[in-house]
């Protein structure tokens, strides 16, 4: 269906709410996150090479980011990527300085990088996504944003769309409520519960493998994959019912 005009499957008769991921679905920030992850991990791996003599194998956005990091809570992404390289670090604490060689320290270094980019470059929202939101809200369908990012409020404000989402389940909520991150469905289920919506009557919209897995694992009525990275087959394989390149394809 990707690349073609698709009939809008989101109707008031079938669904009461649509739960949107943030980066890569609502805002053009997925590539920024990927770049910052690469910068942080490459810095760390280069430094590790100088201390241990291990060969330097750079972090690859097309594989490492997609498989181990994309869509997950920040510290989970650090841990899963390091595990793929056979590296085990102490967990540390969420307050670790960015220079600390712990899972949390590396995660905080990545957060430092993304905050600098958001402040200097701002954020662009995808017009197709905003147009779809306007359409479904006119039909009385609720919306929420569900993201592993702890920068959700800053991104929404920078994109000028903070007023759209009264219900937000972000990385801070996931941490504070001790929820499991994607591919676990906890964040999406929490949003549905807040809205008072049965998951079978809710739609999940995601661009990450871990995100569509979460939608499928939660038993949601429809999982839409947004394949901006040319990964239609992967998203479909891991749980997306429908694939689009841009949510504007679903407009009536």
What is the number of helices (H) and of strands (E) in the chain?
A: 9, 6
CB of 153 within 8 A of CB of 162? yes
**Distance, CA of 5 to CA of 222 (rounded, Å):** 18
The helix (H) or strand (E) run that includes residue 177 is none
Task: Spell out where the chain has E strands.
Answer: 17-20, 142-146, 168-169, 202-206, 222-226, 242-244
Q: Three-state DSSP class for 114?
A: helix
State yes or no: is 23 an active-site residue: yes
CA-CA distance, 238 to 68, in Å (whole number)?
A: 14
CA distance linking residue 88 with residue 79, whole number of Å: 8
d(CA 239, CA 219): 10
Q: Which CA distances in Å does 216 have to 37, 42, 193, 209, 212?
A: 27, 33, 17, 11, 6
Q: Which of 16, 21, 70, 76 is catalytic?
A: 21
Taking alpha carbons only, the member of 18, 2, 24, 16 closest to residue 210 is 24
The H or E element containing residue 210 is helix 209-217
* Identified catalytic residue from 23, 170, 186, 207: 23
**Helix locations, 139-185, DSSP H:** 152-159, 171-176
Q: Catalytic residue positions?
A: 21, 23
């Amino acid at each position: 269906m990707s690349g073609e005009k698709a009939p809008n499957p989101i109707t008031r008769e079938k669904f009461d709410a649509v739960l949107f991921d943030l980066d890569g679905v609502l805002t053009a920030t997925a590539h920024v996150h990927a770049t910052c992850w690469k910068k942080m991990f490459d810095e760390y791996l280069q430094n590790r090479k100088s201390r241990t003599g291990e060969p330097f194998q750079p972090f690859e956005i097309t594989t490492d980011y997609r498989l181990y990091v994309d869509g997950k809570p920040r510290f989970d992404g650090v841990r899963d990527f390091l595990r793929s390289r056979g590296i085990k670090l102490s967990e540390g604490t969420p307050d670790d300085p960015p220079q600390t060689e712990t899972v949390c320290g590396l995660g905080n270094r990545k957060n430092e990088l993304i905050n600098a980019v958001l402040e200097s470059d701002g954020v662009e929202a995808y017009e197709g996504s905003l147009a779809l939101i306007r359409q479904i809200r006119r039909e009385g369908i609720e919306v929420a944003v569900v993201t592993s990012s702890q920068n959700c409020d800053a991104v929404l404000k920078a994109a000028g769309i903070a007023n759209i989402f009264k219900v937000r389940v972000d990385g801070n909520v996931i941490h504070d409520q001790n929820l499991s991150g994607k591919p676990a469905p906890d964040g999406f289920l929490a949003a549905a519960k807040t809205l008072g919506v049965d998951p079978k009557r809710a739609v999940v919209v995601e661009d990450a493998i871990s995100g569509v897995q979460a939608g499928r694992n939660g038993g949601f009525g429809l999982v839409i994959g947004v394949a901006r990275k040319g990964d239609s087959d992967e998203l479909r394989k891991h749980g997306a019912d429908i694939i689009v390149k841009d949510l504007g394809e679903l407009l009536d």
